[in-house]
Structures are given as C-alpha cells and as structure tokens.
C-alpha cells in the first residue's frame, strides 16, 4: 500500500501507469482540452517505433496529430516536431485557422523534410525512402478541421436519432491503393504507365512498392533523380519514374460541430486493420473516458491475437520487432466534444503539449529503472522505520 501511494504522483506526472504488463504500451489516460477531455495511447511493434502522436491544447483550440511512419522513424519524428509550428505560424499570419493554413503547413513540412534529405542522403541514402502518413485534427470556434494524407483515419461518433445509440461517420479518406477510387485516380494521373499500381505480395501497391499514395517524405517516389542514382540503388531496388507518383497534398474536411457530435477517434491504420469504424465508436460510447484510447488499442490487439489463435496475454510478451509479424504500431487519440464549453479547463499557459514517447520500449525501460529505484527507496524507508520502532 505504501509503494502504491508513492507511485501515484509519478504516474500522474508521466501520464501512464507504472508496472504495466505490456512493455510496448504507453498511454495518457485522460487530460483536459478546450472543449472536453482527450485520451491517447500507443503500442509499439517495430524495432524502432514508427508511429508518433501528439495533442496540443490551448484555452481556445485543440490540435491532434497522428503520424504513421514507414521505412524508418525519421519522417514521423520530423513531422511531429515541425508541423504544428508551421500551423501556428501561418494561422498567426492569416488571422486564424483555415484550410489554406493547414495546406501551407503540410507544404512547408514536406519542403523542410526534402531539404533534410538533400543535406544527409549521401551519408544516409536510405533516408530518401523514409516517409510518413499524416493525419491532423484541429478544433476552434466550434469548427472541426480534419486533414489527411495517407491511410490513417478520423472517425466521428455521434448520437443516433433515438438518442440511445452511437453512429460512426468517417471524416477522412484512406489514400491506400487497396481502395478502387485511389487506383482509378492514379491510373488517370499516369495513363502512360501500365505499372502505376501493381497487385503484389497480396495487396495493391503504387509501382509495386508502397500501399499509400500520399505521404510526407518518400522522396525517391517524388523526385526521379534519387531513384536513378547508383548510390541509392545499392540500398533500394531501382524504380522507373517519369514523374512523381506520390504527393504530400492533404485532403481537408471542415465540419461545424453539432450537438449530437460526441467524440472523434484519430488513429493510425494499425487500429483499423482489426476494427470497423462502428465497432470503435461503440467501444468509446459504452465505456468510461479514462484510459479509453488504451482500451481501443487493446481491443485491436485482442483481434490480432485471435487471428493467430492466441490470446492478448500471450501476444503482449512477444518482443518488439517480432511483434510486427502480428500487428503494426498503433496510435489512438480520442477527443471528446462536450457541449459545456469551458476555457478554464485548460491551463493558462498558451500551449500545452502531450507527445507520445519517440520510442515506447526505451521510455518504459527508463521508467522500469525509476520504479526499481523507488521500490528500493520505499523498502529502505520501511526498513528504517521498522528498525526505529
């Protein structure tokens, strides 16, 4: 009981529960934002976590970012540090948030990452093949903006007409070659390329390589000079390009929030591989708020385990890297949309950041060391007290 009491302040500070059984899981159970509460959770499957997630709050606005990297963690980590500053910069210059502001923020982040690749690719050629899907949500003045490039997804949960059930409404488009509309779009843009989309290794892929059609990064599929360079071809198979086959342009949806809108789930495709939109919103609707993002992640992991005739209890003991054979990195953010708007919910500081750790395994390993030190300190305190008595 003494140890449990001493751990609680540290847990509140770190935004997670110490001593958890899945060393690849992290969460911030519940925190306030300008118009409600939010919960965020991440589980790592890759050797290096390729997902990044963040929530930025102020008294008047809330910003959400889910960045699903591929080929390595560099692009998603870069986006998590640069996209919001660009968004803030352009919004300040143009007098507030707008679709144009969001589009410019994406463009500037893409340009900066391209510049980074130009500076470093001779020493690190593979960085030209690293990219990240990018899903952004922003809420201000009762208006919700959702911007997406890639196959992460935003899903709204709204009350049904009877007031007792919840209905899912998808707010983003999956830019993935698995979707017929995406294949048609690519074919129309590249009528002279019969291999613009190829079905290989069980799925449709752009140029037989990548499933997503939009991203930040993936420079070698946007700049033909990289894919033609002999240095790059030592690490990645040659790709014949006449023009860029991917884009970083987001699709943006603007929605005026309504009284029946209850919450929005922002998540990387690792969640949606194992769960329908409707199943996800029902989990959120039927359960307490605290830890709801982690509950969604665990529900997806349970389904992933079932597909391999396993239990989640067995899956959680599998090491990073090997876990990728069972599921992807998963990031989930749940934003509640309360009708009782109260700016006092958020600290007076201009912005408050909640960022998932760059690597969950390393983060939790550090926490384990801290926990061991606290256990030893608690035992020393207990032993000392007992000796005096």
Residue 240 pLDDT: 78
Give, for all 389 residues of the chain, the pLDDT tens digit. 444 444 444 444 444 444 446 899 999 999 999 989 999 999 999 999 999 999 999 988 999 999 999 999 999 999 999 999 999 999 999 999 999 999 999 999 999 999 999 999 888 888 999 999 999 999 998 999 999 999 999 999 999 888 789 999 999 999 999 999 999 999 999 999 999 999 999 999 999 999 999 999 999 999 988 777 777 777 777 787 888 999 999 999 999 999 999 999 999 999 999 999 999 999 999 999 999 999 999 999 999 999 999 999 999 999 999 999 999 999 999 999 996 554 444 444 588 999 999 999 999 877 554 544 454 444 344 344 444 44
Return d(Cα 96, Cα 88) in angstroms, integer: 9
Q: Which of 143, 339, 120 is nearest to 255 (CA)?
A: 143
Using alpha carbons, list the distances in angstroms from residue 48 to 45, 67, 146, 369.
8, 14, 28, 20
Alpha carbon dihedral 309, 68, 363, 123, in 10-degree steps, equals 120
Beta bridge pairs of residue 214: 247
Q: Which residues of 158-196 are buried (b: 16+ CB within 10 A; e: fewer)?
A: bbeeeeeebbbeebbbbbbbeeeebbeebeeebeebeeb
Could you tell me if 214 and 149 are in contact, meaning their C-beta atoms sit under 8 angstroms apart?
yes
Contact call for residues 142 and 256 (beta carbons, < 8 A): yes
Pairwise CA distance, residues 324 & 322, whole Å = 5
The fold of 2-176+212-379 is Phosphatase 2c; domain 1 (3.60.40)
pLDDT value of residue 121: 83
The residues, any chain, with a CB within 8 Å of residue 265's CB and separated by 6 or more, are: 154, 155, 157, 280, 281, 284, 296, 332, 333, 334
User: Which 3 state secondary structure label does DSSP give 106?
Assistant: helix
CA angle 212, 102, 246 (to 5 degrees): 25
The pLDDT assigned to 339 comes to: 63
Q: What number of CA atoms fall less than 13 Å from residue 140's CA on the CB side?
A: 19
Query: What are the structural domain ranges in the chain?
Result: 2-176+212-379
- Return the pLDDT at 162: 81
pLDDT confidence of residue 381: 42
Pick from 326, 365, 358: nearest CA to 23? 365
- Model pLDDT, residue 368: 52
- Please, which residues bridge with residue 254 across strands? 145
In a 10 Å sphere around its CB, with 0-12 CB exposed, 13-18 middle and 19+ buried, how is residue 355 labelled?
A: middle
β-pair type (197-200, 166-170) = unpaired
Report residue 66: phi and psi, to 5°.
-125, 120
């Amino acid at each position: 009981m003494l140890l449990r009491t001493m751990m609680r302040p540290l847990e509140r500070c770190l935004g997670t529960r110490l001593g958890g059984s899945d060393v690849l899981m992290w969460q911030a159970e519940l925190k306030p934002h300008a118009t409600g509460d939010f919960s965020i959770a991440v589980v790592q499957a890759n050797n290096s976590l390729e997902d990044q997630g963040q929530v930025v709050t102020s008294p008047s606005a809330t910003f959400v970012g889910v960045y699903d990297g591929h080929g390595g963690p560099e692009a998603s980590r870069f986006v998590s540090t640069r996209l919001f500053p660009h968004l803030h910069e352009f919004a300040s210059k143009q007098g507030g948030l707008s679709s144009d502001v969001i589009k410019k923020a994406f463009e500037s982040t893409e340009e900066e990452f391209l510049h980074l690749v130009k500076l470093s690719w001779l020493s690190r050629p593979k960085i030209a093949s690293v990219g990240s899907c990018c899903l952004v949500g922003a809420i201000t003045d009762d208006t919700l903006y959702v911007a997406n490039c890639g196959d992460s997804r935003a899903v709204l949960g709204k009350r049904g007409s009877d007031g007792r059930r919840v209905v899912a409404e998808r707010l983003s488009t999956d830019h993935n070659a698995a979707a017929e509309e995406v294949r048609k779009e690519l074919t129309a843009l590249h009528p002279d390329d019969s291999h613009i989309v190829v079905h290989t290794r069980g799925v449709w892929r752009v140029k037989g390589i990548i499933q997503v059609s939009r991203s930040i990064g993936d420079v070698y599929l946007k700049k033909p000079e990289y894919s033609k360079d002999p240095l790059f071809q030592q690490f990645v198979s040659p790709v014949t390009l006449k023009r860029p086959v991917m884009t970083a342009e987001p699709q943006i949806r603007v929605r005026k929030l309504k009284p029946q809108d209850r919450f929005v789930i922002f998540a990387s495709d690792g969640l949606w591989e194992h769960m329908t939109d409707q199943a996800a919103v029902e989990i959120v609707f039927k359960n307490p708020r605290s830890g709801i993002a982690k509950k969604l992640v665990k529900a997806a992991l349970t389904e992933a385990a079932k597909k391999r005739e396993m239990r989640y209890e067995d899956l959680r003991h599998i090491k990073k890297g090997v876990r990728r054979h069972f599921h992807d990195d998963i990031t989930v953010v749940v934003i509640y949309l309360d009708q009782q708007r109260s700016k006092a919910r958020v600290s007076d500081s201009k912005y408050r950041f909640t960022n998932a750790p760059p690597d969950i395994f390393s983060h939790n390993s550090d926490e384990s060391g801290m926990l061991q030190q606290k256990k030893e300190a608690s035992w020393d305190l207990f032993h000392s007290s007992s000796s005096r008595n």
